[in-house]
Chain A
C-alpha cells in the first residue's frame, strides 16, 4: 500500500499563474481533505471531498477550488496565485472514520 501520494513534490510558479496539485488517497479511502501549511504554522483546512462533492470548506477564497474523481483521487487548483499562497499543501485521506492519513505534501513557491 503506497499510502497517500501527492504530486509534484515541489513547484515554483509566478504570481498570477494557476497551479494544479494532485493527490491519490490511501487504498480504500473515499474521503480526501486538503490543507495549507505556511512556514512555522499548523496546517489550515481548505476543503474536503467525498463522493466527488465538496462536503466542507474552510476560510479560503474561491481562487481555491478542487475536484474529486470516481477513483477518489483529487486535485487542488489555485488561480491568480499570490505570494502569500506559498506554502506546503497537504492532502489527507480517510475511510470515513476519524483517523486521517497525510501525504508528504507539495511545496509551492510563488515568486
Chain B
C-alpha cells in the first residue's frame, strides 16, 4: 500500500551534536525519496533526495542513507544548529508512475542549548 512513516514524532538533540531522523516505507517498488524541512508557518523545503539505485547521498551537513533490504531511510544532520529546529518529513515520489509525493507524518526536531 501507499505509506511512508516515521519512527519517532519528536527528537531532541544538543546543539552541536549530530541528529539522525529515521523513516520506514512499505512499498518495495518505491524508487525515489525526498527529505523535506518544514518550519513553523512555512511550506516544506527540499533538503535532499535519493534514488532507489543509491544507498547514500551527501549534501551540505546532511546525509541520507537508504536501506532497501529493510525499507528504511534516514537523514543525518551534522553539527546541529538552532536553525535546524523544524519538522522533518520523509516523502516518496513515484515519478515513473504518477509524480505525486506521499508524505509521512513528520518528526519534530528540538535543538537543546
Inter-chain pairs besides A102-B45, A103-B43, 7 sampled, C-beta below 8 Å: A41-B105, A45-B102, A48-B100, A56-B98, A99-B49, A100-B46, A102-B43
For window 95-111 of A, CB contacts with B under 8 Å fall at 98-105
Contacting pair B100 A58 (CB below 8 A): yes
CA–CA, A92 and B34, complex, Å? 14
Give me the interface of B with A, judged by CB distance under 8 Å.
Answer: 32, 34, 36, 41-46, 49, 89, 91, 93, 95, 98-106
Contacts of A103 in B (CB 8 A): 43
CA–CA, A31 and B98, complex, Å? 12
For window 47-83 of A, CB contacts with B under 8 Å fall at 48, 55-56, 58
**A-B pairs with beta carbons under 8 Å apart, 25 shown:** A4-B43, A33-B99, A33-B101, A35-B101, A35-B103, A40-B105, A42-B89, A42-B105, A43-B44, A43-B89, A43-B101, A45-B102, A48-B99, A56-B99, A56-B100, A90-B43, A92-B43, A94-B99, A98-B49, A98-B99, A99-B49, A102-B36, A102-B45, A103-B43, A105-B43
Contacting pair A98 B102 (CB below 8 A): no
Total A-B Cβ pairs within 8 A? 61
CA–CA, A55 and B49, complex, Å? 24
Contacts of B34 in A (CB 8 A): 98-99
Known contacts A98-B32, A98-B95, A103-B43; is A92 also within 8 Å of B49 by CB? no
Contacts of A41 in B (CB 8 A): 105-106
Size of chain A's interface in residues, with CB distance under 8 A?
25
Tell whether A7 is near chain B: CB-to-CB under 8 Å.
no
Q: Return B82 CB to nearest CB of chain A, in Å.
A: 21
* The residue from A31, A40, A42 contacting B99, defined by CB atoms under 8 A apart: A31
Give the top 7 A-B pairs by smallest Cβ distance, nearest first.
A42-B103, A102-B43, A45-B100, A98-B95, A56-B98, A102-B44, A43-B103
